[in-house]
A and B are shown apart, each in its own frame.
Chain A
Amino acid sequence: MHTKKPASARPTGDHNAPTNFVTADSCMLRKLQRRRSWVMARWSVLACAVAACTSTAPEAGIPARIRLLTDRQYVNVVRDLLGDVDVPTLQTPGTLPHQLVHDAEVVAVDASLLVQYRVAAETVARQVAADLGAFACAGGEPACTRAAIERFASRGFRRPLDDDERAELHAIYALGADGSDHAGGIALVVEAVLQAPPLLYRTEIGGDPDPAGVARLTPFELASAVSFLLYDSLPDDPLWNAAADGTLADPDVLATHVERVLATPRARTHLERVVLDWLDVHRVFDADKDPLLFPDIDDDLRASMFDETRAFVSDVLWSRRGSLRELLVSSRSFADDRLAAHYGPYRRRAGILTHASVLTGLATARSESIIQRGLYVNQRFLCTEDLGRPPFDAIAAVAGSTFRMTEYQFASYRAAHVYCSTCHRTIDPPGLALHNFDGVGRWRDLVDGQPIDPVATLAIGDAAPRTIDGPAELATALAGSEHVAACVVDQLAHHAFGRAVDGGDLELSRRQLHDRFEAVDRDLIDVFRAITTTPAFRERRREVSP
């Protein structure tokens, strides 16, 4: 449940004062608030039912906005426009390459990013000048050149050009051509278009608003919304044509295009990538491993781990009807020989949480991490509110006695400690259930000569805490939970809309997505289909002028 933390919830302890009590209390306070917000939310649903709300009750919705292309989208757009050119790597400040969510309002173009676009645009322009392709135009024949420039720029802007843009681009061509250098003119046009705001920003502004200030996206904006959601790039020709003749405004036509695009290999590859980003599988490549303890972990083995999970996700999405349950519990194996040897003969499989890729990422250089595994499950499947950091004084106070403890001993210590347990009884249980896996995802029955006891008490959402014994029970418990299903949908919707959906202003769209997810047996692919039918996808709120 989403909680707006009032300022008073923040601990205000003086740093010099003993803060154990303050911080422990503040954690409990957060939990109490979470609980209260849940009650409020349930109450509002109940109130809504009493008032006989229909499914058409409006939501506050998303304001008209612009969304900066992600780095991956920029590269895709350039290649869709110009073929297989070499595009220098971009790194938008504040983002990471495999980030699931790009919150639209927190990214702005600053000089350091603008310079990156310039370097990319200049690099690509040089390549185009050397190999003109569609811009060849018999050394600059004017009508052909005009048409080529307009087609290039309008496709890049995902809409027809206006008169000013057309005139400015032809002036830029003339300046670059400087008389008769056709390639020079084209290169300068390419440079300008690849740094132009209408290329860099997706607009979600809509046409004329209704009296309530709600505007439907224009057909061209809809075409982009679909193509960026499913291809991570520009509209393809059929989408462009349906936008140009206006038919895309018809929900049935839009749905037909969504089905068509969903069936393409390109969309499938992209959606696999989204799921892999959600599950943070790339972490396997970054996780430090102590070479003395894990001499076998090299880049090839990491790649095998990643490939196994990618093949598994692909199988779940396209051969198991996108089933969230299969993702969590399926024991189908896609390990190559190297990875199979790494797992050894005693492998136990229970879905994504038992993959070496995930388990290797959720560990320190020297050991598995109950806390990292626990946080992962809490964040990605339970949508647990951020519990904050433990008090430093408390860490310092226990560091002497916990330093030489094993992971399991330390977890037991946290569970028994009156302050630590306030939060760690929420954080640790999934990690405990996975404790039979070591820091690189191998099964073991003993740790330091002691048998492992992977029993934990887990509370999922607002359900009563239950005992789970080992990874298979953990996976089954998660797979059976409506709370987990809603949490997963919220994250995919957050990805799609570029903003969180649990803030109360998108409740109608959110409820549609949750209900439909339950109705389709929790098909992850259907979430993307369903997203395109929500008001949050099709409508924007406009500021009403005073």
Chain B
Amino acid sequence: VISRRRFLAGAGGAAGLATMSGVLSRLALSQPVRPPTRLLIIHKPVGTIPEHYECTGGERDFVLSPILAPFAGLRSHLTIVDGLDILKKDNTPGEDHGNAMITFMTGGVSYKPDASNVVTAERASIDHVLSLRDDVTGDAPIRSLQLAADVRTHQLMARTLTYAGRGAAMPPEQRPFAAYARVFGGLADGALSPDELARARARKQSVLDFARGGLDRLAPRLGAAERIRLERHLDAVRELERVMDRTLGVDTTWLERRANAIDPTDNDQHADIGRLHLDIIRTAFECDLTRVATFAWAAGTTHVNLSRLIPGTEDVDHHTISHGGDGSAADQAAIHRWYNERTADFVQTLHDTPDDAGGSLLDNTLVVMFSEMRLGSHTFDGIPLVLLGGAGGRLAGGRRLVYDHRPTNDLWLAIANALGDPMACFGDPERCTGPLPGLF
């Protein structure tokens, strides 16, 4: 595992590069007062089985349910939040899973432009809103990162968590190698000498400069709407430059090898694909390449068949099982528990990774894990939701909080306020009753 110290060693080795000077001065001059807080939102599809999910006992002495039992080792970092409702609206464009994901993430409803068949969201999602804040993102070059272990669905809305605004979906990357290349920039190679690195950096810069020139030459010939698209393209070019500078010479070959070894189309590598994505996110947090990420185990209308990963469960996709009613409750519970085991294993690695700015990575991270519905039969009151991590010393774990039908918007409002965003309401005002009390 890479650490900030090794990252510095890599940066020091390339100190001859003019492009590195900014990074070095940043590290030298701005020792942060408080470690950066990271936000990771994890989606797990098609609800839960309440009889196997709901814990008993009080706020502190609760007894973990079978589905949540995998988090036992992380109990002191776990906050169970019961009683939140996704206030999904009827008769909005698109199907239920995607609609609920949109309402959870954006606090608003879905949107379908008249000239398109593609359903997206009306509003920006919470991760995007927070990633726009300098006090959240700092100078991490990737504003926010979207990854998913499985995205098989025809509906964009059912595999997208992040929206940059009305109609602006930011769907996740599923292919492991593309996810790796996205974060580690193409110049993360510990084997190159400083001299070779400098030349490689200059060559990559010439390619990006040519792209920049192409955008500059196009823009004057186009109207305002098209220029906005070119501006987004230019932002992407800038982001690539900054990622390259920050990863120059950092050794991530262990991740690259794994990314290359995985077959992203193999249903039965589901656990490995997911874990690789989560490891990429952890490493990106560690190197301060990004502070905001979303990860989805699968689309809301999941096509993942877990029967060969969880022996004894029915040999059909998880979505079909979720519509199986009472007869499939045991299978559904086994699947949800399985996902939580994998998630807990990963969260444990956040706990085991020291943050060079102090504490563990988990201490300085807020993980929000949710499902877009309560029951597989499409109900949206009382969704399964847990928080993990200390959120930079703001969140005390080891608690189970039970609310009486509060909209999920209020959760985001409390989180946004805690992270320094003074917003008075998140999402549609009609879905906003005030920050969830007693959380932070």
Contact = CB atoms under 8 A, between A and B. Distances in A.
Contact of B222 (A64, A103, A171, A283): A64
A43 interface: no
B379 interface: yes
B223 A500 contact: no
A543 B224 contact: yes
B90 interface: yes
B104 to A, nearest CB: 14
Interface string A349-392: 00000000000000011100000000000000000001011111
Given A96-B154, A188-B203, A392 B214 contact: no
Interface string A154-191: 00000000101100110110011010000000001001
A286 B160 CA distance: 19
A351 B78 CA distance: 58
B218 A11 contact: no
Contacts of A119: 177-178, 181, 186
Contacts of B217: 162, 164-165, 198
Interface stretch (B234-242, B329-337, B347-355): B234-242
The list of the 4 closest CB pairs from A to B, nearest first, reads A197-B214, A500-B115, A111-B236, A388-B91
B116 A19 contact: no
B93 A392 contact: no
A33 to B, nearest CB: 13
Contacts of B377: 396, 399
B152 interface: yes
A171 B154 CA distance: 44
Given A115-B182, A119-B181, A392-B380, 5 more contacts: A11-B91, A19-B90, A26-B91, A111-B142, A290-B316
Interface residues of B, number: 74
Interface stretch (B13-21, B164-172, B395-403): B164-172
B96 interface: yes
B225 interface: yes
A291 B305 CA distance: 12
Given A113-B236, A192-B206, A392-B380, A291 B315 contact: yes
Given A108-B232, A119-B178, A162-B217, A366 B169 contact: no
Interface string B193-229: 0000001001100110111011101100111111001
Given A110-B170, A196-B210, A175 B203 contact: yes
Interface string B282-300: 0000000000000000000
A359 B221 CA distance: 48
Interface of A: 2, 4-5, 10-11, 13, 15, 19, 22-23, 26-27, 63-66, 89, 91, 93-94, 96, 101, 103, 105-106, 108-116, 118-119, 121-122, 162, 164-165, 168-169, 171-172, 175-176, 178, 188, 191-192, 195-198, 201, 203, 205, 283, 286, 288, 290-292, 364-366, 386, 388-393, 395-396, 399, 403, 499-500, 503, 542-543
Contact of A386 (B112, B169, B175): B112
A26 B93 CA distance: 13
A224 to B, nearest CB: 15
Given A66-B218, A94-B156, A197-B211, A395 B237 contact: no
Given A109-B233, A175-B206, A396-B379, A391 B171 contact: no
Contacts of A188: 203, 206-207
B206 to A, nearest CB: 5
B99 interface: yes
Contact of B152 (A4, A113, A286): A286
Given A111-B142, A195-B211, A103 B118 contact: yes
B320 interface: yes
B325 interface: yes
B181 A118 contact: yes
Contacts of B92: 10, 388-389
Contact of B320 (A110, A196, A197, A365): A365
Contacts of A23: 90-91
Nearest to B213: A168
Nearest to B323: A364
A201 B218 contact: yes
Contact of B203 (A15, A19, A108, A176): A176
A391 B91 contact: yes
B87 A15 contact: yes
A268 to B, nearest CB: 27
Interface in B56-106: 87-96, 99
Contacts of B202: 175
Interface string B364-380: 00000000000001111
B319 to A, nearest CB: 8
B90 A392 contact: yes
B303 A288 contact: yes
B88 A15 contact: yes
A269 B320 CA distance: 36
A11 B89 contact: yes
B117 interface: yes
A89 B203 CA distance: 24
Nearest to A15: B87
25 contacts: A13-B90, A94-B156, A94-B169, A96-B154, A103-B118, A106-B116, A109-B232, A111-B240, A115-B182, A119-B186, A165-B213, A168-B213, A171-B206, A192-B206, A192-B211, A197-B214, A203-B218, A205-B222, A288-B320, A290-B316, A364-B320, A388-B91, A396-B378, A403-B325, A499-B115
A510 B239 CA distance: 42
A108 B171 CA distance: 12
Contacts of B178: 91, 112, 115-116, 119
Nearest to A201: B218
B258 to A, nearest CB: 17
Contacts of B207: 118, 121, 172, 188, 191-192, 195
B240 A118 contact: yes
A95 B239 CA distance: 22
Contacts of A392: 88, 90, 96, 378-380
Contact of A64 (B91, B199, B221): B221
Contacts of B236: 109-111, 113-114
B404 interface: no
B90 A288 contact: no
B340 to A, nearest CB: 24
Contacts of A291: 315-316
Given A66-B218, A175-B203, A365 B317 contact: yes
B316 A365 contact: yes
Contacts of B171: 93-94
A63 B224 CA distance: 11
Contacts of B94: 389
B266 interface: no
A178 B200 CA distance: 11
B114 interface: yes
A118 B186 contact: yes
B150 interface: no
Contacts of B232: 108-110
Contacts of A168: 209-210, 213
Contact of B218 (A111, A112, A197, A542): A197
